């Protein structure tokens, strides 16, 4: 009889963080996207970055001020651009 194969994945892939930047495309919105990407890379995170520019979608998150940082569907910061170090904490 052949040996049984393991049923558990021994090398699971890290979960992919979904990072969304909510904003109309202003300078602060672009800066937040840069900060979020830098923080994710420095933290070694697997991530997907989406820029949400449709104002109607901001309401889905309850966001009144932009730019806003959303991680896995949760608003982490709004109306400001956090530092790279703070953003690393927000992404964790």
Which SS3 state, helix, strand or coil, does residue 79 take?
Answer: coil
What average pLDDT does range 2-28 have in this prediction? 78
The set of residues, in sequence order, having a beta carbon less than 8 Å from that of 79 and lying 6+ positions away, is 64, 65, 66, 67, 68
pLDDT tens for 33-84 read 999 999 999 999 999 999 999 999 999 999 999 999 999 999 999 999 999 9
Which class is 17-91 in CATH? alpha beta
- In the chain, where the domains are located: 17-91
Which SS3 state, helix, strand or coil, does residue 31 take?
Answer: helix
pTM: 0.84
Q: Report the alpha-carbon angle 69-71-77, nearest 5.
A: 30
């Amino acid at each position: 009889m052949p040996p049984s194969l393991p049923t558990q994945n021994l090398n699971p892939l890290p979960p992919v963080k979904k990072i969304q930047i909510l904003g109309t495309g202003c300078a602060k919105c672009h800066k937040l996207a840069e900060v979020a990407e830098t923080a994710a890379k420095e933290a070694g995170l697997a991530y997907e970055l989406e820029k949400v520019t449709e104002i109607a979608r901001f309401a889905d998150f309850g966001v009144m001020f932009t730019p806003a940082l959303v991680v896995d569907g949760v608003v982490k910061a709004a109306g400001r651009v956090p530092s790279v170090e703070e953003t690393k904490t927000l992404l964790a």
